[in-house]
Amino acid sequence: MLQGYLRPAAFAAVAIVVPVFLAVPAAPAQQGVPVITASVTLVESAQESGPVQRATRDLESDFTRVFGRAPRLVNDLKDAGPTAILIAQRQNLPAGVDCATTANTEAFAFSITSSGGAKRLVCLTGADMRGTIYAIYQFSQTVLGVDPMYLWTDKQPAKRVSISLPKNFARIYPSPVFQYRGFFPNDEDLLTGWVIPPKGEQSGIALSVWDQVFETILRLKGNMVVPGTWTFPDDAPVHAATERGLIVNQHHAIPLGVNVARWPADVPYNFSTHPEILERAWTNAVAEYKPDEEILWSVGLRGLSDASYASLDPSVRGNDPLLGKRISEAIADQMKIVRARRPNARFVTSLWQEGARLMREGYLKIPPEVSLVWADTGYGDMQDDGRVAAGQGMYFHVAMMNGHANQLSEMVPVERIQEEIGRYIKAGATSYILVNTSDIRPVAMTARALMEAAWGGVPQQADADGAYYRKWATEEFGAKSASALEEIYKDYFAAPSLRHPFYGIPRLTSAGNAPPAPPAVSFTRWDGDQHYHSEARRLILDDLSVHQVIAIPSQSPKWTQPRVLPSGTAETRAHALDQDIKDGEDAAPRWDAVWKKAVAAEALVDPERRQYYQAEVLTMITINRESNAMLLDLAKAMKDADAGDKTKAETEAAASLTALDAIQKSMALAEYGKWKNWYRGDWLTGVYRTRELVQDYLSHLKDPMARLPAPASWSGWEGYFHIMAYEGDRSVDVH
């Protein structure tokens, strides 16, 4: 067994990548080790559930990619050939077959035995439905060499004629470290725009793409999904997730599945004055889920479109004790509503934004049967203030849509992920872990790192030495590139400028204690890919419209965003320009150095993996490096224009435009093969929109009489206008 890893006392040890296993002796009748070829027979009882059968079909596809054809599939051992692979939930094992089993939740076993003294039998047995699914996918990964993230990394397994099973193949994989583990594809603009759903699909993201998401979660041994941001309980992805064997969860802004972004116009949303309206909405949402769907119910109370509830209820505004009381009352009501239909329901509540503050202040009263979930800041810092306790859980972003973090590229280093997960494991806070993945492909590495830790734990010390980067690079780009890419990833995560900290709890030290600092200490925040574009558009719109920037109500769903206020005076604008120039100049040498290393390392990458290297590494660095250059040149142009140096300003604005062209060129290179139109849905970061405005600004510099763009701010709701288009004019049922 591996030593020196964190995990709850119930388990002996963990591995970084593959779950810990116990050796299982082969059956006495076995002679030698079976050889796997396309001629093996897959044996799966007709008793196996639909989700297990779906996973078996994926195994057939994996065989085809490795051996050139799928094996024969039968439902009875008597129909099997000389070598067979038996797929069975423990309770469905054929009588008299001596396969290794385990009864622990979601655990599974590999073993080798014989059937009737004649057939060589490879057993993939699960303690339950999901344990059986994990056995199938672990066999694909361990034996066939299938990358669990292949749908996003394009990694194909090596072609083989035969594969001898390792002598230590027989093993038992124990239950996972975290009880609930899954993805939240949030702010899903790229996934929505990539593949247009066929007419009639009740889904923003095409169901074919959703199926790829669900398969990936299961290959990473996850067991739940939050199927989109603003969805209804009877939307097609909810049903499709169930058919794949996943638990359906709701995120913090839509407790019980009430799609508050589609709250009907002119209907009060106020639990203080009209609790009966919200209670009807909750009751109706619960009823919309199918009885056979496995739900992990999120409870809580937020406002519309992920705003604080206090934004809708003046009585609790500025009154944290009363706000905490209202949320606590809502949770109690929601639990009663759910239990009226599902007496054995399980609940979580996520302490996002004001929730963490109210919990720290002692104003939230959470029933003990509700798993309390702390959230991070969006930058990898958990907001529990060192108070996390056994039985709690975590909500963690590897992508974050807030106008300043990351939507198109990686941002949170693996070391940070492992630090925080390790701290929660040490506290026994392993009931729940949800990873916000946004569009998945841009954050494939960190999404996988987090899910592997959720299943098997983390190293005793966080990954400061880059071991995970080396492992990832070896698997995805070839061993020759591993050392170079380890340094590139380290430098990449260290390259952005630290910027404008936001206030909250202190960041914990490695010892788990808050460093000595005033109570108003702030979290570290750094520039993600969105920041450059949000800031550039703000500067241009302010400049061209003389601070008369307004929101476009028609771009929002049901609830209209508040008016965007003017950005400030000329003095504050000058300060912003100075800050942007300082930050850009500070970061530019680091980005240049990362880029130089990445270009040089391409020669070390396996030739067949260079297209993915372009998408995963070169495009990712280009987006950040050139976005930093774009904002730096734009800020300089505005500064020089204010000083009356029109010629210099035009040159700098043109350089800003050139940087945006470089981004779009690199994005196009990442749209190879099946990824055609991948960036079509870039509505939230909006590189194309930034380019339009920079072009308008340059035209204005050259000719003050040139036509100006409308003085409007695209606040992000334009993206949701597309993401939610399939919902038509549907509203939450409050009757």
Q: Please name the residue that has the structure tokens 């790829």.
A: 212
Whether 3 and 13 have beta carbons less than 8 Å apart is answered as yes
pLDDT, residue 519, reads: 35
Point out which residues pair with 351 in neighbouring strands: 374
pLDDT, residue 179, reads: 98
CA nearest neighbour of 135 among 167, 179, 94, 171: 171
Cα separation values, 418 from 11, 216, 498, Å: 18, 21, 21
CA nearest neighbour of 135 among 100, 178, 97: 100
For residue 209, the surrounding DSSP H or E stretch is helix 207-219
Whether 253 and 580 have beta carbons less than 8 Å apart is answered as no
Three-state SS sequence of 279-309: HHHHHHHHHHCCCCCCEEEECCCCCHHHCCH
CATH number of 21-173: 3.30.379.10
Q: Please name the residue that has the structure tokens 């990936």.
A: 216
Burial of 152 (C-beta count, 10 Å sphere; 0-12/13-18/19+)? buried
DSSP string for 376-398:
B-SSS-B-STT---TT-EEEEES
DSSP 508: P
Q: How far is CA 119 from the centre of its chain?
A: 44
Whether 266 and 366 have beta carbons less than 8 Å apart is answered as no
Q: The dihedral of CA 678, 684, 687, 693: what is its sign?
A: positive
Could you tell me which residues come within 8 angstroms of residue 575 by beta carbon, excluding any fewer than 6 positions away?
Answer: none
* 399-441 pLDDT tens trace: 999 889 999 999 999 999 999 999 999 999 999 999 999 999 9
pLDDT, residue 166, reads: 85
Point out which residues pair with 436 in neighbouring strands: 184, 397
DSSP 411: -
Three-state SS sequence of 573-587: HHHHHHHHHHHHHHH
pLDDT, residue 463, reads: 60
pLDDT, residue 119, reads: 82
Q: Which residues of 275-287 are buried (b: 16+ CB within 10 A; e: fewer)?
A: eebbbbbbbbbbe
* 27-53 pLDDT tens trace: 333 446 789 999 999 999 899 999 999
Tokens of 417: 């992920």
Burial of 660 (C-beta count, 10 Å sphere; 0-12/13-18/19+)? buried
Which option is the CATH number for 180-486: 3.30.465.10, 3.40.250.10, 3.40.630.10, 3.20.20.520?
A: 3.20.20.520
Whether 610 and 602 have beta carbons less than 8 Å apart is answered as yes
C-alpha radius of gyration, the chain, whole number: 27
The Cβ of residue 548 has, within 10 Å, a number of other Cβ atoms equal to 10
CA nearest neighbour of 241 among 308, 177, 292, 175: 292
pLDDT, residue 115, reads: 80
183/246 Cα distance (integer angstroms): 11
Whether 709 and 537 have beta carbons less than 8 Å apart is answered as no
Q: Which residues of 613-641 are buried (b: 16+ CB within 10 A; e: fewer)?
A: bbbbbbbbbbbbbbbbbbbbbbbbbbbbb
Whether 514 and 385 have beta carbons less than 8 Å apart is answered as yes
CA nearest neighbour of 478 among 603, 573, 649, 354: 603
434/457 Cα distance (integer angstroms): 15
Mark out the alpha helices in 68-161 (DSSP H runs). Answer: 129-139, 150-153
Cα separation values, 61 from 103, 146, 157, 455, 609, Å: 29, 11, 11, 25, 21
Domain extent listing, the chain: 21-173, 180-486, 529-723
With a cut of 50, which residues of the chain have pLDDT below it? 1-21, 23-31, 501-522, 547, 551-567
